[in-house]
Amino acid sequence: MSAVESTIAEFHARQAAGDDMAIYRAGSMAFKTSTTVAQLSSLNDAIRAAEGCGPPERDRANVSTRVSTSGSFVTVLYVRTCARGTIAEQFLMRLGGDGPEVEGYHISGEPILASPRV
């Protein structure tokens, strides 16, 4: 799990720095075919614009694993507490020989809807 957490920590550091292209490049092939850099930037802009948010914290009770003919995957939930509520971030991580890659990234929460960038 530490490799997954490390990859997500790198994602969050790049997100905070506004380096959406690096996040995109580091994602899995499925991630790159399901979104564009512009779409990813829009999501990240909404998170960056949310007011009064603390650091993302992993919800240790919300982890699931799946192994199929498509590969091995881990789903991890992170939560940010903000001035206007919480933001939930769900990461679907593909596990592979080169280390975990972001396969899917989903966000939800009131602060996203209240963000002036959405």
User: Average pLDDT for consecutive 10-residue bins of the chain (118 residues)?
Assistant: 92 97 97 96 92 93 89 95 95 92 94 68
Region of residue 117 (phi > 0: left; psi between -120 and 50: alpha; otherwise: beta): alpha
Domain boundaries, the chain: 2-114
> Which pLDDT score is estimated for 116?
61
- 54 φ, ψ (degrees, to nearest 5): -85, 180
The pTM of this model reads 0.91
Q: Which fold has domain 2-114?
A: Nuclear Transport Factor 2; Chain: A, (3.10.450)
> Which pLDDT score is estimated for 31?
96
> Which pLDDT score is estimated for 96?
86
